[in-house]
Amino acid sequence: MANKRSRSKTKDQQVTRVRNTIIAVLALIVLVIVGFGMYVTTPLSERGEIVAGEDYTVVDNPRPTRPGPIQVAEFFSYACVHCKDFEPALEDWLASQGEDVAFKRVPVTWSPAQTVLAQAYVTLEATDALDANHGRIFRAIHDARKQFLTPESVAEYVDGRGVSKQEFMREFNSPRTREQMREVERQLQRYRVNATPSVVVAGKYVVGMQGGPARALQVVDHLIAQEKADGAAGAATESPGS
């Protein structure tokens, strides 16, 4: 009888230990999730200083930018699921920008399939059919698992959505599009972008997604503000009344 009670007590202790372990693991998971959420939403002033080499890299020998809006470029690929996931945050950010910021997308060409998609992007932009198809192509690739390995496959998909397949193919193979693709290659080499999505600010800084999309856009805002301040200081220095 004593042995039965002893075995029962030992079993209860084992159950208690297992239960406590499970509770501890669940609590740890909750803490990690909450901690990550706080990290993503905490303002920069509370998350520490933005540091070159960690939050962004400085472009070697950046070209001087012309007076005017601050240039911001997103390097992306339709084949990149992280680029698709970045879109909602990026669109919200764009909606809050004024005329002093000029935004553009630059498609990467790191593989034959990405090159087809990059040239398709340039073609849709040139034919004013981008708004009708940009999100559709992302969803087709990542939600419907559709592959676009040839320009003809893209032309069939966008046919009737702001452009006909004949117009698409004509622009896809045009000298204007080929020159634009050469410019894409030049920008990839100039900024040494090696991951997507990446954001280049003022032709001087490359911001990656190491800290997540929210952090990246905060860093972009910081660099834009820095550029504006530098521009204002330079204008004051050159003013005849200074």
The per-residue pLDDT for range 145-193, each reduced to its tens digit, is 999 999 999 999 999 999 999 999 999 999 999 999 999 999 999 999 9
Q: What angle do CA 142, 104, 149 make, to 5 degrees?
A: 35
Range with lowest mean pLDDT among 27-41, 127-141, 153-167: 27-41
**In a 10 Å sphere around its CB, with 0-12 CB exposed, 13-18 middle and 19+ buried, how is residue 99 labelled?**
exposed
Q: Tell me what the mean pLDDT of segment 203-221 comes to.
A: 96
Mean of the per-residue pLDDT values of the chain? 85
pTM, two decimals, is 0.76
**pLDDT of the residue at 45:** 41
Q: Tell me what the mean pLDDT of segment 103-113 comes to.
A: 97
- pLDDT above 70 covers what percent of the chain? 74
Q: For the beta carbon of residue 219, count every other beta carbon within 10 angstroms.
A: 23
Domains of the chain, by residue range, sit at 2-41, 50-238
**pLDDT of the residue at 68:** 87
**pLDDT of the residue at 146:** 97
Domain with residues 50-238, CATH architecture: 3-Layer(aba) Sandwich (3.40)
Q: Place 31 in a pLDDT band, splitting at 50, 70 and 90.
A: very low
Q: How far is Cα 11 from Cα 17, in angstroms, rounded to an integer?
A: 10
pLDDT at 132 over 70: yes
Smallest CA-to-CA distance from 221 within 191, 195, 199, 188 is with 199
pLDDT at 65 over 70: no
**pLDDT of the residue at 4:** 52
User: Which ranges constitute the DSSP H helices of the chain?
Assistant: 2-41, 44-47, 81-95, 112-126, 130-142, 151-158, 165-172, 175-191, 213-238
